Chains A and B, each alone.
Chain A
Amino acid sequence: MNKTVTINISGIIFHIEEDAYDSLSKYLATIKGYFSNTDGGNEIMSDIEARIAELLQEKINAVKQVVLMADVDHVKSVMGKPEEFGGEQTKTENKTQNDQTNDTDEKAKRRLFRNPDDKALGGVCSGLAAYFDVDTVWIRLAMFLLIFFGGLSLWVYIILWIIIPEAKTTADKFAMRGESANVNNIFKSFKEEAEDVRNRFRNNSYGNNVRSNVSTILNGIFNVLGRLIGLFLIFLGCAFLFAYVTTLFGISVADSNSDITNWKSVIFGSSADYAMAVFSFIIVAGIPIFMLLFGGIKLLFKFKYNNRWLNLSLGITWILGVMIGIYTTVKTVKQFNEGSKVKETEVLHGMGDTLTIKLNPAMLTLKPYGYENADDLDTYFGRNNSGYQFGDLNKKLTIIGCAGLDVIESNSDSIELVINYEARGNNKREANENAKSIKYTYSQNNSELIFDEVFTVLAGTKFRAQEVNIKLKLPKGKVIYFDKSVKYLLDDIENTTNTWDGNMVGRRWKMTDRGLECIDCEGLEELDEEFNFNHRHHELNGKNITINEDGIKVNGTDAEIKIDENGIKIKTPKQPGEPKAPVEPEEIDTKGSKGNKGTKGNKGDKGEK
């Protein structure tokens, strides 16, 4: 009993015994190799195949339905050896001998083809399956599953579709299932070659042969190396591709997000600029990834696929992408070309001798995007943030930035407040307009100066590095008190003790000849330590919660919970029956060095410990 294979030659189906199939496939591969460089090689090939089909058909009848080895031998003797086709050789008596020796010499090397006989799309999967000797179902399944990794396999499939040739002739189809050329086999043949070399060394007679075998071994090594590099490139390409596709996905999500209405228009000069930036990213990043995968696949499967037009057009497209990218970048950066400063000065009256600087708590509720649902007020913009955010003010996209406050000595006797609105633009006029679009408020309440921590930029104005810098000019002799809430508003205020801004709050400073001097900073060293951690303020449902390194502290209107290294302390009012009575809770503060400033609601002066 012999196994038979079904093959298709020139559109005719044959059942052929396996050994006959091997012989025929090798024969066709040899012929194909012989004509691969000839003009019209494919045509000659299909003519020959048609003739072979005819010859085989003559050998088949209702009784004998299977092509046998003898039939293939008959075909070979009728058609002749490929070397004879060119007419170079005459009838050689040793033809049959040649047949046999050549058969063993020229095995049909397996090559990767797209399988046109079993295809869902391009026959890539079944071609790969033939190459790796697995069932097509597994490859298809893998391809399908990989779609969910950012559509990874879609891209790979398209690349494979482009570069893998279709198995057009029967010889191609034979080669598709030919002798396996996977990495394992290469190692195997490499071993065999090495063995062979050793044997030749032993009964060595031809020096030339040894040399040629060394080069075979080197070739083998390069072969393996090339494939490993190819594998590595494919791996790398897939990783990049994943990142790339994820980024594109992110961009498309951001684009369709109605909350972030045209955030890109805030930075880019026009939506066309944005489109160009995205476009250039797609090209500039995409093409190298494509080439990486392409090169890897070429190395792994040993393709010789050099389509000059593909290379050229990819190269040109890439350069085009780079140029668009540069253009967009330059255009956008130029928007920041010129700077402009709008100065606003006000002389403050009726401040008394001691000023108090406070933060406007209302502005702290201005939430930037992404924090809409965050209960954690700490993440609100402004707190320990010196950058910019996009916020939602009256349902309009608004740029939010941090203002900065500096205190310097006044030349005159009066207290002066100078607010500098700064912005950049394509030219002076635009920069000026951008500066004027900044909205910032402060207010004076007797001796109190109440500042907003953040400024906003008029909706519709683009982001052009807007800044608000406030300078408070203080005459000599005046005292200033920084409420703890302004910790992040202070911007590098010079003082005699070189105290860090964050440590200046909660203290009183006097303007002297030498500059600002602290007048209640005894034991500042110790205080430094106390203030060095991050103050974190939380405001939840009217109750004050403080979470810091020391523990958790909840300040109710008349109760307090404290969790720290000493354990849990719960303080309830002395007389629980009395609602909202201004009760001074019993302080069981271990350090006990400072109490509240006396403000009842603990507003703006909370949670330092």
Chain B
Amino acid sequence: MGNSENTEKTGEGFERAAGAQAQMRKGVLELCILSILSQGDAYPTEIIDKLKDTKLVVVEGTLYPLLTRLKNTGLLGYRWEESTSGPPRKYYKLTEIGEQYLKELQVSWTELVDAVNKTIEKGKK
């Protein structure tokens, strides 16, 4: 990032696009995690496995700060469960506030998708 001054215009454009993508991903990732957890409790590796196909998560490290933040804001709770094959697992679950929040998020998400789709289609025409 420090060498942005030296990069050419194309590179700069690419970087800006990448930044926007990252912001989008970050917001959507939150929604995805909450959705996965609404289907049942899960520990990070499970969440990652489910997210892997979606290509939303590129590196696993991203998940941990996010989970901790969601937990600290009260959207998630957790419990420890012993594992037969490794360290004890932290099973995350949705709290009541989390469920509420997820519903709101889902509504605004569909609204957003509709609006965006319409805009894009108009642009195509």
Total A-B Cβ pairs within 8 A: 84
Residues of B within 8 A of A (CB): 18-19, 21-22, 25-26, 29, 44-45, 58-62, 64-69, 71-72, 85-90
Within 8 A of B (CB), among A83-97: 84-91
In the complex, A91→B55 CA distance in Å? 10
Q: Using known A-B contacts A89-B22, A90-B21, A91-B58, determine if residue A44 contacts B85 with beta carbons closer than 8 Å.
A: no
A43 in the interface (beta carbon within 8 A): yes
Say whether B65 contacts A12, CB under 8 Å.
no
Interface class of chain B by DSSP: helix
Q: Which residues of A contact B18 (CB under 8 A)?
A: 89-90
Give me the interface of A with B, judged by CB distance under 8 Å: 9-12, 31, 35, 38-40, 43-44, 47-48, 50-51, 53-54, 57, 77-82, 84-91
Q: Which 4 A-B pairs have the closest CB atoms?
A: A80-B59, A10-B87, A80-B61, A85-B61
Are A47 and B60 within 8 A (Cβ)? no
Q: In the docked arrangement, what's the CA distance between A77 and B61, Å?
A: 10
Complex CA–CA separation, A79 to B18 (angstroms)? 20
List 8 contacting pairs A-B, 8 Å CB cutoff, sorted by A.
A9-B87, A12-B86, A47-B90, A57-B86, A81-B59, A87-B26, A90-B19, A90-B58
Which chain A residues lie closer than 8 Å to B60 at the CB level? 51, 78-80
Contacts of B26 in A (CB 8 A): 87
How far, in whole Å, are A77 and B69 apart by their CA atoms in the complex? 23
Query: 10 extra interchain contacts, Cβ-Cβ under 8 A, other than A48-B64, A80-B60, A84-B61?
Result: A12-B86, A12-B87, A40-B72, A44-B68, A48-B61, A50-B89, A53-B87, A57-B85, A87-B25, A88-B19
| Cα distance, A48 to B67, chains bound together (Å) | 11
Asked whether, in the complex, the Cβ of B87 is within 8 Å of the Cβ of A40, the reply is no
Nearest A-chain residue to B57, judged by Cβ? A80
Closest B residue to A90 by beta carbon equals B18
Shortest distance in angstroms between A448's beta carbon and chain B's nearest beta carbon? 99
Most buried by B among A10, A38, A87: A87
Query: For residue A43, which residues in chain B have a CB less than 8 angstroms away from its CB?
Result: 68
- Write out the residue numbers on chain B whose beta carbons fall within 8 Å of the beta carbon of A77: 59
Contact pick for A87, options B44, B62, B67, B87, CB 8 Å: B62
Chain B min CB distance to A77 (Å): 8
Smallest Cβ distance from A62 to chain B, in angstroms? 14
Smallest distance from the beta carbon of A522 to chain B beta carbons, Å?
Answer: 105
Report Cα–Cα, A44/B66, bound state, in Å: 9
B123 to chain A, nearest CB (A): 24
Enumerate chain A residues within 8 angstroms of B59, measured Cβ to Cβ: 77-81, 84-85
Question: Within the assembled complex, what's the spacing in Å between the Cα atoms of A137 and B87?
Answer: 32
A53 to B87, CA, bound (A): 7
Interface pair A47/B72, CB less than 8 Å apart: no
Q: Given A40-B68, A44-B65: A84 and B58 within 8 A (CB)?
A: yes
Max chain A C-beta neighbours (<10 A), residue from B18, B62, B89, B90: B62
